[in-house]
Amino acid sequence: MTPADLAELLRGTAAKVLAERGLDVSVLPETLTVERPRNPEHGDYATNVAMQVAKKVGTNPRELAGWLADALTAAEGIDSADIAGPGFLNIRLAADAQGAIVAKILEAGAAFGSGHTLDGKKINLEFVSANPTGPIHLGGTRWAAVGDALGRILSTQGAAVTREYYFNDHGAQIDRFSRSLIAAAKGEPAPEDGYAGAYIADIAADVQRQRPDVLDLPAGEQQEVFRAIGVDLMFAHIKRTLHEFGVDFDVYFHENSLFESGAVEKAVQTLKDSGNLFPEDGAWWLKSTDFGDDKDRVVIKSDGNAAYIAGDIAYFQDKRSRGFDLCIYMLGADHHGYIGRLKAAAAAFGDDPDTVEVLIGQMVNLVREGVAVKMS
pLDDT in tens, 160-218: 999 999 988 887 888 999 999 999 999 999 898 889 889 999 999 999 999 999 999 99
Range of the domain at 64: 3-97
In a domain, 77, yes or no: yes
Q: What's the whole-number mean pLDDT along residues 258-276?
A: 94
Total structural domains in the chain? Answer: 1
Q: What's the whole-number mean pLDDT along residues 57-86?
A: 93
Q: What's at 97, amino acid-wise?
A: A
pLDDT band at 252 (very low <50, low <70, confident <90, very high): very high
CA distances from 182 to 185, 194, 208 (A): 5, 11, 10
Q: Are strands 277-280 and 251-254 parallel, antiparallel or unpaired?
A: unpaired
The model's pTM is 0.77
In a domain, 218, yes or no: no
Q: What is d(CA 152, CA 169) in angstroms, rounded to the nearest whole number? A: 28
In a domain, 45, yes or no: yes
Count of C-beta atoms within a 10 Å radius of residue 151? 21
Q: What is d(CA 282, CA 264) in angstroms, rounded to the nearest whole number? A: 19
Per-residue pLDDT tens for 279-325?
999 999 999 999 989 899 999 999 998 998 999 999 999 999 999 99
In a domain, 79, yes or no: yes
Cβ atoms of residues 316 and 345 within 8 Å: yes
Q: What is d(CA 300, CA 282) in angstroms, rounded to the nearest whole number? A: 9
Q: What is d(CA 122, CA 116) in angstroms, rounded to the nearest whole number? A: 13
pLDDT at position 207 is 95
In a domain, 43, yes or no: yes
pLDDT band at 71 (very low <50, low <70, confident <90, very high): very high
Q: What's the whole-number mean pLDDT along residues 92-103?
A: 85
Q: Using CB atoms within 10 A of its CB, is residue 116 exposed (0-12), middle (13-18) or buried (19+)? A: exposed
Q: What is d(CA 128, CA 280) in angstroms, rounded to the nearest whole number? A: 35
Cβ atoms of residues 310 and 283 within 8 Å: no
CATH number at residue 59: 3.30.1360.70
Cβ atoms of residues 357 and 328 within 8 Å: yes
Closest CA to 123 of 143, 97, 144, 152: 152
pLDDT at position 373 is 85
Closest CA to 296 of 258, 334, 345: 345
Of 57-66, 85-94, 335-344, where does mean pLDDT reach its minimum? 335-344
66: left (phi over 0), alpha (psi -120 to 50) or beta: alpha
pLDDT at position 93 is 92
pLDDT at position 170 is 81
Across the chain, what does the average pLDDT equal?
Answer: 91
pLDDT band at 4 (very low <50, low <70, confident <90, very high): confident
pLDDT band at 45 (very low <50, low <70, confident <90, very high): very high
pLDDT at position 204 is 95
In a domain, 74, yes or no: yes
In a domain, 219, yes or no: no
Q: What is d(CA 341, CA 346) in angstroms, rounded to the nearest whole number? A: 9
Q: What's at 278, amino acid-wise?
A: F
Q: What is d(CA 329, CA 145) in angstroms, rounded to the nearest whole number? A: 15
Closest CA to 115 of 247, 4, 250, 249: 4
pLDDT band at 30 (very low <50, low <70, confident <90, very high): confident
Per-residue pLDDT tens for 327-370?
999 988 878 888 988 999 999 999 999 999 999 988 778 889 98
Q: What is d(CA 45, CA 14) in angstroms, rounded to the nearest whole number? A: 16
Query: Is the pLDDT confidence value at 53 over 80?
Result: yes
Query: Is the pLDDT confidence value at 139 over 80?
Result: no
